[in-house]
Amino acid sequence: MTITRLPVGPIALRAKPSVGGEPDTQRGRSPSMPVHGPLIDSFGRVHTDMRLSVTDRCNFRCVYCMPDEGMTFLPRAEILSFEEIARVARVARGLGVTSVRLTGGEPLVRRGIVELVRRVAAMGFDDVSLTTNGTGLARLAEPLAQAGLQRVNISCDSLQPDRFAQIRRRGELSMVLKAMDAAEAAGLAPLKVNVVVMAGVNDDEVLDFCAFAREHDRVVRFIEYMPLDANGLWDRSQVVAGSDLLAQIGERWPLVACDPQGTDSAPAERYRFADGVGEIGVVASVTRPFCGTCDRLRVTADGAVRNCLFSDDELSLRSVMRSGGTDDEMAMTLRTAIWGKLPGHGINDPGFLRPHRSMSMIGG
Domain locations along the chain: 3-20+42-362
Residue 25 pLDDT > 60 = no
> Helices 242-252 and 206-216, interaxial angle, to 10°?
60
Residue 18 pLDDT > 50 = no
Quote the mean pLDDT of the chain: 86
Q: Is 20 left (phi over 0), alpha (psi -120 to 50) or beta?
A: left
340 and 308 Cβ atoms separated by less than 8 Å: no
Please write the tens of the pLDDT for every residue from 52-87: 999 999 999 888 887 888 888 899 999 999 999 999
pLDDT at 103: 96
Residues whose CB is less than 8 angstroms from the CB of residue 215 and which lie 6 or more positions away in sequence, other chains included: none
Residue 243 pLDDT > 90 = yes
pLDDT at 54: 97
pLDDT at 138: 96
Question: How many angstroms separate the CA atoms of 55 and 62, rounded?
Answer: 16
Q: CA nearest 92: which of 43, 148, 147, 49? A: 49
pLDDT at 2: 29
Question: How many angstroms separate the CA atoms of 362 and 227, rounded?
Answer: 13
282 and 39 Cβ atoms separated by less than 8 Å: no
Per CATH, the number for 3-20+42-362 is: 3.20.20.70
pLDDT at 30: 62
What average pLDDT score do residues 288-298 get?
84
**Between the ranges 179-188, 237-246, 257-266, where is the mean pLDDT highest?**
179-188
Q: Backbone phi, then psi, for 143, in 5-degree steps?
A: -60, -40
Beta strands 49-53 and 192-197: pairing type? unpaired
Confidence grade of residue 310 (pLDDT, cut at 50, 70, 90):
confident
Q: Which of 15-29, 44-58, 330-344 has the lowest mean pLDDT?
A: 15-29
332 and 340 Cβ atoms separated by less than 8 Å: no
Taking residue 334's Cβ as centre, other Cβ atoms within 10 Å add up to 26
Q: Which of 137-141, 225-229, 312-316, 348-352 has the lowest mean pLDDT?
A: 348-352
Confidence grade of residue 50 (pLDDT, cut at 50, 70, 90):
very high
Question: What pTM was computed for the model?
Answer: 0.87
DSSP state of 160: S
Question: How many angstroms separate the CA atoms of 77 and 32, rounded?
Answer: 36
- Partnered with residue 14 across adjacent β-strands are none
> Helices 82-94 and 113-121, interaxial angle, to 10°?
20
